[in-house]
Amino acid sequence: MLQGPDAIRAATILEDCVDQLCVLGRIMPTSFDSRVDAVEMVQSELNQLVAGQKDLEQRYQTILAKRLEMRQNTKNEMKLTEIEKEVVESGHDLKNSTHVFGRSLRQNPLTGDNISKIQADRTFCEDVMGDTLSELIQNCSFQCLIESVEREKFKKAKLQETIQKEENGRKRVRELQRKLQDIKKEKEQDLQDRKGMIAHIKDQLQEAKARTNMEGKYIKKSAEVSIAQTQKRCTISEKQAQDEIEKLRQQVDDEERSHSEIESYLRTHHDELEKKEKFWQEKMEKDVDAKQHELTVIKAANQKDFTRLQELTKLYKEYEQVVVEDRIEKEKARRKADQEGIELKASIRIQAWWRGVMVRKGFGPYSKKKKGKKGKKGKKGKKKK
């Protein structure tokens, strides 16, 4: 979709193109053969094609030389990649130009067919532009132009495919014709060789007939003897085969009987195992239930014991507190008794010391009583004596 101003501008341009194509269709001649400058027109077109082809070839040669020089002088991967892309693009352009140049040389631009094709192309362009102009004026879109281009691309692709198939078919026909000529010559030579071989074989056939008659009798007798021997060997082999078949049948019977017995034993064993499995499954369920019950009982007992443990722990802490307090009281009493014992010993020592002092000093009840003078004198007389 186009906006209003853009649609108006595009519609104006398309209208001008349609008018120019209409005028061009009316003034174009049916053929250029009768014109005086027809040869000059063809020569000018050919000169333009040749010049363009030479320019493309020169450009391709220049790019190839540049690529060779860069490969020898540089190791930049980015530049080498870019020059490779240029070589591919230039080669593609040269290939397309060569195709167009060859097609132009094969066609005569002065014939009526080329003029008819130009008129058909002009008419197509005029119709497509007219439809596009109408759609731009009505809907501000150009969908019909896109659809027409896609249809022409599809037609061109189909035409190119048809042309390619036709060229391949022509090449295949020429190749097959050449192969047919080669095969024809080969077959003629082979026929001559076969004719000579036939004559030679006829001579050999006559010789072979005589030799064959003699050899036939010998071979007949030899064949009869060989047949008898073969029949004898076949009879012996047949008997051996029959014996082997009987032996194999006996083995098959034994194997089938063994298989049946083994199958019966396995079925019986399987039933017993299923019973055992059922028994052990039931036993396991019962044991699990019993153990689950035991676990529940144990958990309850553990919970009860845990509660009892907490109570005992609390009681133990209380008793421990009482014991500690009792020990503290006993320790205080012991220390007090020790202190009293020490004080008692100290007081006894002090009393003993004081008594000694009193005795030595004569204090208190331990003081000495004074006697009369007489007595003292008598004592003194005694001392003198």
pLDDT in tens, 298-345: 998 889 888 888 988 888 888 888 888 888 998 999 899 999 989 999
CA distance 86 to 331: 112
State residue 29's pLDDT score.
57
State residue 102's pLDDT score.
65
Does the pTM surpass 0.75? The reply is no
State residue 371's pLDDT score.
47
Higher pLDDT, 310 or 31: 310
State residue 219's pLDDT score.
83
Query: Tell me: the pLDDT tens digits for 112-149?
Result: 556 677 777 778 787 877 877 777 777 777 777 788 88
Percentage with pLDDT > 70 across the chain: 84
Query: Tell me: the pLDDT tens digits for 173-212?
Result: 888 888 888 888 888 888 888 888 888 888 888 888 888 8
Structure tokens at 328: 């503290």
What separation in angstroms does the CA of 214 have from each of 208, 219, 227? 10, 9, 20
CA distance 216 to 210: 10
Structure tokens at 172: 């295949």
* Coil, strand or helix at 219: helix
48 burial via Cβ count (<10 Å: 0-12, 13-18, 19+): exposed
Query: Tell me: the pLDDT tens digits for 38-83?
Result: 556 656 766 777 777 788 788 878 888 877 887 777 777 787 788 7
Mean of the per-residue pLDDT values of the chain: 79
- What confidence category does residue 381 fall into, taking pLDDT thresholds of 50, 70 and 90? very low
Q: Is the confidence at residue 105, as pLDDT, over 60?
A: no
CA distance 34 to 25: 19
If you average pLDDT over residues 254-278, what whole number do you get? 87
Q: Is the confidence at residue 96, as pLDDT, over 60?
A: yes
State residue 348's pLDDT score.
92
CA atoms within 13 A on the CB side of 59: 18
Q: b/e for 105-141, b at 16 or more Cβ within 10 A?
A: eeeeebeeeebeeeeeeeeeebebbbbbbebbeeebe
340 burial via Cβ count (<10 Å: 0-12, 13-18, 19+): exposed
State residue 145's pLDDT score.
76
Percentage with pLDDT > 90 across the chain: 3
Neighbours of 83 (CB within 10 A): 20
The pair phi, psi for residue 28, each rounded to 5°, is -75, 135
CA distance 175 to 181: 10
Note whether 71 and 105 are within 8 A (CB): no
